[in-house]
């Protein structure tokens, strides 16, 4: 036995939200640390279709409701632990 045990679990609860938890335990000193974190992806809002088959910017409806890989505008990351707290925001 090495003296340190760690367990972690992550769940993607929606398309844009992931939650995580981790528990670390040191057998020799009985010190433990519990950490939880979240990641929330910010996406560009989609245009509403008009009745004539075009969206507000003039592109056809079929192009407006596709899922481009570049519609992410930023990500918010947060972490809370028994030893420290941190947060991070990245916008593109």
Question: What tens digit of pLDDT does each residue of 70-89 get?
Answer: 588 889 999 999 887 666 66
73 - beta bridge partners? Answer: none
For 8-42, the pLDDT digits (tens) are: 999 999 999 999 999 999 888 878 899 999 999 99
Domain ranges within the chain, ordered by starting residue: 4-91
pLDDT digits (tens, 9 = 90+) for 39-52: 999 988 765 554 55
DSSP 17-63: EEEEEEEEEETTTTEEEEEEEEEEEEEPPPPPBPTTSBBTTS-BHHH
The pLDDT score that the predictor gives to residue 21 is 96
């Amino acid at each position: 036995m090495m003296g340190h045990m760690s367990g972690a679990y992550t769940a993607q609860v929606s398309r844009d939200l992931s939650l995580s938890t981790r528990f670390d335990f040191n057998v020799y000193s009985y010190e433990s640390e519990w950490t939880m974190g979240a990641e929330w992806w910010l996406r560009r809002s989609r245009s509403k279709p008009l009745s004539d088959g075009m969206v507000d910017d003039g592109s056809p409806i079929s192009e407006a409701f596709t899922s481009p890989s570049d519609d992410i505008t930023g990500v918010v990351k947060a972490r809370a632990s028994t030893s420290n707290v941190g947060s991070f925001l990245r916008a593109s």
